[in-house]
Amino acid sequence: MAGPPGRGRDLTSGPILKTLVLFSAPTLASNILQSLNGSINSIWVGRMLGEGALAATANANVVMFLVFAAAFGFGMAATVKIGQAFGARDVLAARRTFGSAVGFCVLLSLVVGTLGWLFAPELLTAMAAPGETYAYALTYLRVIFIAMPASMITVMLGMGLRGGGDAATPLKFMVLSSVLDVALNPLLIGGFGPIPAMGIAGAALATAIASFVSMAGIVAYVYVKDLPLRLRGPELKWLWPRRDELGYILTKGLPMGAQMLVISAAGIIVIGLVNREGLLVSAAYGAALQLWTYLQMPAMAISAAVSAMAAQAIGAGLDERLHRISRAGVMLNLTVTGALCALILLFDRPALELFLGAASPAVDEARHIQFLASWSYVLFGITMVLFGTMRAGGVVWTPLIILSIAMYPVRLGFYYAFYPSLGADALWLAFPVSSAVAVVLSVHAYRQPQWRDRARAVPDEECEEETHADADPAGRMAPSL
């Protein structure tokens, strides 16, 4: 039985920087694939339907990220317990946890999908979606909410398999879903042959079809290949969540779910403030979000690798190596994210024109937003790396507190304090200000000796999964896997 990614690999010796680069590369590749899907679809929407539709998808994606984030923490908790059961070679325990997690996910997705469909107008009104954007976003959101069960079940199945050491199967069906979504978007948006032009509903329907096909495919694959987590006969009763399993999933998942909710809710608030500036600024921000998705990826991958390496170092009692891992992670983030930020700022016009079109007046506004706010992700990457190290020692609540402070009293406080004098620029400058405060607080927390004194190694997969909770929603519909 194969162990989870990284479990059979010794990360406690050898050159730290080289190991860090090689270990973070697969995570980076996976995240790039996931986000390319969203970006290409945004290009189709922006070029075929215009700025209002692009702004609508930006509004809808932030809402959907919030919805997925609410359940994603529970998936992380299930992943950890499944990984622990596989480590103990207790396949039946892994299946019990897997069944409870999937069953809970099905029930939760049905409730959330129904409530989301019913209250989508109130959500968009609360976000102050502009007139044209509102109609587009309502149509888009309601179709996506119909596909909510398929999307969440696919995510939960993928996380469960990953906890059992199988990272290849979820990746295969991520590729399938992405290819289908990208291929169907232009056909359903603009129409082709007997397929009528559906506009923004077509973009959402493409995502829905891809989600259902991917869900059916991964379920069939699990049974055809007789993978260890498949449930048969009497085991199917485990799909009804067991009290003990559900208690563990809720207890472990709530802190991570809360952290993701804090960040994604802050993203919704920002979208609401952006929408108040009008359609042009809203469309410009939607295009900028797509580029920021990629700008976060190196730090996310580096932080995941740092977490796994730090966990092994703590377990081996190598305190000095722990510091060197953190230092190497910070330097690698500054180098890679800094270089990517510079490239984006140098070539931002052609990149933004992919989403908005060369003649759009929103391009110049998006370039202005990029210039003021993009470099904040270089700073935020430092925070992500330090959080990755601390989580390897079992620290969960400190990141939640720091991010809550940075996202709310700092970011929103700066905006409201300086909006009368700076206008919309106060919102863009609030990004680097909040990131700088997060860096200061995370460095202070990292330097405290208490967490190292109580440090405990946790499974590598827990560290890697939790890392993705730190990232801004940006242009993504769901958290990175």
- 162 and 79 in contact (C-beta within 8 Å)? yes
Cβ-proximal residues to 418 (8 Å cutoff; 6+ apart), any chain? 426, 429
Where are the alpha helices (H) located in 127-199, listed in sequence order? Answer: 131-146, 148-163, 168-190
Please tell me what DSSP assigns to residue 361: T
Instruction: Report the pLDDT value the prediction gives residue 439, as an integer from 0 to 100.
Output: 96
Q: Which of 208, 199, 209 is nearest to 44 (CA)?
A: 199
Cα–Cα distance list, 201 to 86, 138, 176, 185 (Å):
42, 10, 21, 10
Instruction: Report the pLDDT value the prediction gives residue 438, as an integer from 0 to 100.
Output: 95
**Position 280: which residue type?**
L
Instruction: Report the pLDDT value the prediction gives residue 334, as an integer from 0 to 100.
Output: 93
pLDDT in tens, the chain (481 residues): 333 333 334 556 677 778 777 766 766 776 777 777 777 777 788 778 877 787 777 777 777 766 676 666 677 667 666 755 665 567 788 788 888 888 888 888 888 888 888 888 887 887 777 676 788 888 888 888 888 888 888 878 877 776 565 667 777 888 888 889 888 988 898 888 888 888 888 888 998 899 899 999 989 998 888 888 888 888 888 888 777 777 777 776 777 677 777 877 788 788 889 988 888 898 889 888 888 888 888 887 788 777 767 766 776 677 778 888 889 999 999 999 999 999 989 988 998 888 787 888 889 999 999 999 998 999 999 998 998 788 766 677 888 899 999 999 999 999 999 999 999 999 999 999 999 999 999 999 998 887 766 654 344 444 444 445 455 555 445 545 4
Instruction: Report the pLDDT value the prediction gives residue 17, as an integer from 0 to 100.
Output: 79
Instruction: Report the pLDDT value the prediction gives residue 8, as an integer from 0 to 100.
Output: 38
- 37 and 178 in contact (C-beta within 8 Å)? yes
